[in-house]
Structure 1
Amino acid sequence: MALDEWKQPFFSEYMPACQLRGCWLSFALVDEAGDGKAYGGLAFTTFDSGGQRYRGRLNGEGYTKLENQYRGPVVLIFDTTYVAAGADYYDSLQHRDSYPLPITELQVRAEQTRFLRPDGQRVERSVTKSQTDHFYQVEVRDLVRHAAHLPPVASRTHRPPRHALKMMADLGFGPPQPTLVGVVLFPNRHTVLEVRPLRALRPMLSIEDQFCALNLYQLALMSTLSYCDFGQEPPTKPIDQVSFPLEPSVGHFFADRLSGYQEPWKVDVELVQHFYPVYEDVPYSRRFEILPFDPELYQQNRIELGEEQEHPERLHFFDDKKHGTDTQAYICHHDEVILVAIRGTASGADKLRDANAHQVAFVEGVGKAHEGFHKAYQAMRDFVLRYLDQFYTGQRIVICGHSLGGAIALLLAEGLRRTEDAHYNILLYTFGAPRAADSEFTDGASALVHHRIVNHNDPVPSVPAPWMNTTAKIWIPGAVVLFSNPAPGGLLFALGLVRLTGNPYQHHGAQQHFMPILLPDGTHSSVLWTPGCESIEDAACKRALRLNGDMPDRANLIKQLVQSAHHSMVVSYIPAAWATLRRWQQTLDTHGTLVTAREFELIDKALFTMQHQLREQRKKLDLHRPANQRGYEHHDPMSQEVDRLKDSRDRLETLRWRRLQARDVYGSQASSPILQSSLKRWFTHPQNRELTQMASIPPQPDDGWGKPQTLDIDSIV
Structure 2
Amino acid sequence: MKLDGWKQAYFDEQMPACALQGHWASFRLVDETCSGKAYGGLPYTLHDSSGRQYIGRLNSDGFAQLRDFYRGPVVLILDSLYTGTEEPYYLLRTRQTYKLPITELQIRAERTFFSGNDGKRVERDPANHQGHRFYQVEVRDLVRHNAHLPPLASSAHRPKRHALKMMAELGFGPPQPLLSGVVLFPNQHSVLEVRPLRALRPLLSTVDQLCALNLYQLALISAVSYLDFGQQPSECPVDQVIFPLAPSIGHLFSEQLSICEEAWQIDPKQTQRFYPLYEEIPYSQRFEILPFDPDLYPQNRPELKDKQEHPARLHFFDDEKFGTDTQAFITHHDEVILISVRGTVSGADALRDADAHQVAFVDGVGKVHEGFYQAYRAMRDFVLRYLDQFHIGQRIVICGHSLGGAIALLLAEGLRRTPDANYDVLLYTYGAPRAADSEFIAGASSLVHHRIVNHNDPVPSVPARWMNTTAKLWIPGAITLFSAPAPGGLLFAAGLVRVGGNPYQHHGEQHHFMPITLPDGTHSSVLWKPGCESIQEAGCHRALQLQGDMPDRDNLLRQLFQAGQHFMTASYIPAAWATLRRWQQALDRQGPLVTLREFELLDRALEDMREQLRAKRRELARQRPANDRSYEPSDALNAEIDRLHTSRERLATLRWRRLEARDVYGSQAQSAHLQSSLKRWFSHPENREFAQFASIPPPAHHDQAKAQTLDIDSIV
Output the TM-score relative to the length of structure 2: 0.93
Indicate which of 682, 700, 707 corresponds to 2:705. Answer: 707
Quote the Cα distance in structure 1 between the aligned partners of 2:167 and 2:24: 18
Residue pair 1:76, 1:185 contacting (<8 A) in 2 also:
yes
Quote the Cα distance in structure 1 between the aligned partners of 2:322 and 2:106: 42
Higher mean alpha-carbon deviation, 165-174 vs 533-542, is at 533-542
Shift of residue 211, structure 1, vs aligned partner: 0.2
Shift of residue 715, structure 1, vs aligned partner: 1.1
Quote the Cα distance in structure 1 between the aligned partners of 2:563 and 2:53: 67
Deviations 1:214-269 (A, max 9, x none): 00000000000000000111111111111111111100110010001100000223
Quote the Cα distance in structure 2 between the aligned partners of 1:554 and 1:659: 42
Which residue in 1 is equivalent to 2:3?
none
Residue pair 1:31, 1:113 contacting (<8 A) in 2 also:
yes
Shift of residue 629, structure 1, vs aligned partner: 5.3
Shift of residue 22, structure 1, vs aligned partner: 1.2
Which residue in 1 is equivalent to 2:684?
685
Shift of residue 559, structure 1, vs aligned partner: 6.0
Matched, 1:587 2:586: yes
Residue pair 2:141, 2:182 contacting (<8 A) in 1 also:
yes
Which residue in 2 is equivalent to 1:511?
510
Which runs of 5 or more structure 2 residues have no equivalent in the other structure? 1-5
Which residue in 2 is equivalent to 1:146?
145
Quote the Cα distance in structure 2 between the aligned partners of 1:167 and 1:482: 67
Deviations 1:179-236 (A, max 9, x none): 3101000111000000000000000000000000000000000000000000111111
Quote the Cα distance in structure 2 between the aligned partners of 1:631 and 1:547: 11
Shift of residue 354, structure 1, vs aligned partner: 2.1
Residue pair 2:540, 2:637 contacting (<8 A) in 1 also:
no
Shift of residue 177, structure 1, vs aligned partner: 3.2
Shift of residue 696, structure 1, vs aligned partner: 1.1
C-alpha change, 1:645 and 1:562, in structure 2 (3 Å) is: closer
Higher mean alpha-carbon deviation, 646-655 vs 128-137, is at 128-137
Which residue in 2 is equivalent to 1:42?
42
Shift of residue 673, structure 1, vs aligned partner: 0.8
Matched, 1:386 2:394: no
Quote the Cα distance in structure 1 between the aligned partners of 2:243 and 2:539: 41
Quote the Cα distance in structure 2 between the aligned partners of 1:715 and 1:31: 53
Which residue in 2 is equivalent to 1:209?
208
C-alpha change, 1:422 and 1:524, in structure 2 (3 Å) is: same
Higher mean alpha-carbon deviation, 208-217 vs 459-468, is at 459-468
Shift of residue 564, structure 1, vs aligned partner: 2.6
What does 1:126-145 align with in structure 2 at a 5 Å threshold? 126-128=125-127, 131-145=130-144
Quote the Cα distance in structure 2 between the aligned partners of 1:367 and 1:678: 43
Secondary structure of residue in 1 paired with 2:363: coil
C-alpha change, 1:10 and 1:313, in structure 2 (3 Å) is: closer
Output the TM-score relative to the length of structure 1: 0.93
Residue pair 1:10, 1:18 contacting (<8 A) in 2 also:
no
Which residue in 1 is equivalent to 2:62?
62
Residue pair 2:353, 2:374 contacting (<8 A) in 1 also:
no
Deviations 1:444-497 (A, max 9, x none): 1000000000000201001111111021135436779999xxxx9999977853
> Which letter does structure 1 place at the counterpart of 2:467?
M
Residue pair 2:131, 2:190 contacting (<8 A) in 1 also:
yes
C-alpha change, 1:561 and 1:348, in structure 2 (3 Å) is: farther
Quote the Cα distance in structure 2 between the aligned partners of 1:541 and 1:339: 39
Aligned residues: 704
Residue pair 1:239, 1:303 contacting (<8 A) in 2 also:
yes
Which residue in 1 is equivalent to 2:75?
75
Shift of residue 17, structure 1, vs aligned partner: 2.5
Secondary structure of residue in 2 paired with 1:693: helix
Secondary structure of residue in 1 paired with 2:618: helix
> Which letter does structure 2 place at the counterpart of 1:20?
L
Which runs of 5 or more structure 1 residues have no equivalent in the other structure? 1-5
Quote the Cα distance in structure 1 between the aligned partners of 2:630 and 2:365: 37
C-alpha change, 1:48 and 1:520, in structure 2 (3 Å) is: same
Which residue in 1 is equivalent to 2:405?
406
Which residue in 1 is equivalent to 2:159?
160
Quote the Cα distance in structure 1 between the aligned partners of 2:157 and 2:580: 42
Quote the Cα distance in structure 1 between the aligned partners of 2:80 and 2:572: 49
Secondary structure of residue in 2 paired with 1:44: strand
Matched, 1:29 2:9: no
Shift of residue 369, structure 1, vs aligned partner: 0.4
> Which letter does structure 1 place at the counterpart of 2:76?
L
Quote the Cα distance in structure 2 between the aligned partners of 1:285 and 1:308: 28
Quote the Cα distance in structure 1 between the aligned partners of 2:96 and 2:429: 33
Quote the Cα distance in structure 1 between the aligned partners of 2:221 and 2:348: 26
Which residue in 2 is equivalent to 1:254?
253
Quote the Cα distance in structure 2 between the aligned partners of 1:503 and 1:10: 82
Quote the Cα distance in structure 1 between the aligned partners of 2:43 and 2:319: 48
Shift of residue 549, structure 1, vs aligned partner: 5.0
Higher mean alpha-carbon deviation, 28-37 vs 341-350, is at 341-350
Quote the Cα distance in structure 2 between the aligned partners of 1:523 and 1:475: 38
Shift of residue 344, structure 1, vs aligned partner: 3.5
Residue pair 2:204, 2:217 contacting (<8 A) in 1 also:
yes
Quote the Cα distance in structure 1 between the aligned partners of 2:91 and 2:331: 17
Which residue in 2 is equivalent to 1:190?
189
Which residue in 2 is equivalent to 1:295?
294
Which residue in 2 is equivalent to 1:696?
695
Deviations 1:350-393 (A, max 9, x none): 43222201011111111110011011000000000000000000
Quote the Cα distance in structure 2 between the aligned partners of 1:335 and 1:610: 48
Which residue in 2 is equivalent to 1:3?
none
Quote the Cα distance in structure 2 between the aligned partners of 1:584 and 1:413: 28
What does 1:2-21 align with in structure 2 at a 5 Å threshold? 17-21=17-21
Higher mean alpha-carbon deviation, 18-27 vs 40-49, is at 18-27
Secondary structure of residue in 2 paired with 1:177: coil
Residue pair 1:276, 1:682 contacting (<8 A) in 2 also:
yes
Which residue in 2 is equivalent to 1:239?
238
Which residue in 2 is equivalent to 1:600?
599
Deviations 1:56-107 (A, max 9, x none): 00000000111111111100000100110x3531111011111110111000
> Which letter does structure 2 place at the counterpart of 1:698?
P
Quote the Cα distance in structure 2 between the aligned partners of 1:30 and 1:531: 58
Shift of residue 21, structure 1, vs aligned partner: 1.4
Secondary structure of residue in 2 paired with 1:536: helix
Residue pair 2:325, 2:343 contacting (<8 A) in 1 also:
no
Secondary structure of residue in 2 paired with 1:282: strand
Shift of residue 18, structure 1, vs aligned partner: 2.0
> Which letter does structure 1 place at the counterpart of 2:18?
C
Deviations 1:551-592 (A, max 9, x none): 567777666556531100010000000000000000000100
Quote the Cα distance in structure 2 between the aligned partners of 1:692 and 1:277: 17
Residue pair 1:345, 1:714 contacting (<8 A) in 2 also:
yes
Higher mean alpha-carbon deviation, 489-498 vs 691-700, is at 489-498
Quote the Cα distance in structure 2 between the aligned partners of 1:376 and 1:340: 15
What does 1:361-380 align with in structure 2 at a 5 Å threshold? 361-380=360-379
Matched, 1:415 2:414: yes
Quote the Cα distance in structure 1 between the aligned partners of 2:510 and 2:65: 66
Residue pair 2:425, 2:448 contacting (<8 A) in 1 also:
yes
Higher mean alpha-carbon deviation, 190-199 vs 323-332, is at 323-332
Matched, 1:466 2:429: no
Secondary structure of residue in 1 paired with 2:207: coil
> Which letter does structure 2 place at the counterpart of 1:131?
Q
Quote the Cα distance in structure 1 between the aligned partners of 2:481 and 2:121: 66
Quote the Cα distance in structure 2 between the aligned partners of 1:342 and 1:686: 31
Residue pair 2:49, 2:173 contacting (<8 A) in 1 also:
no
Residue pair 1:338, 1:392 contacting (<8 A) in 2 also:
yes
Secondary structure of residue in 2 paired with 1:663: helix
Shift of residue 309, structure 1, vs aligned partner: 0.7
C-alpha change, 1:599 and 1:65, in structure 2 (3 Å) is: same
Shift of residue 705, structure 1, vs aligned partner: 4.7
> Which letter does structure 1 place at the counterpart of 2:279?
E
Matched, 1:105 2:98: no
Which residue in 1 is equivalent to 2:323?
324
C-alpha change, 1:157 and 1:597, in structure 2 (3 Å) is: same
Which residue in 2 is equivalent to 1:425?
424
Shift of residue 639, structure 1, vs aligned partner: 2.1
Quote the Cα distance in structure 1 between the aligned partners of 2:128 and 2:117: 29
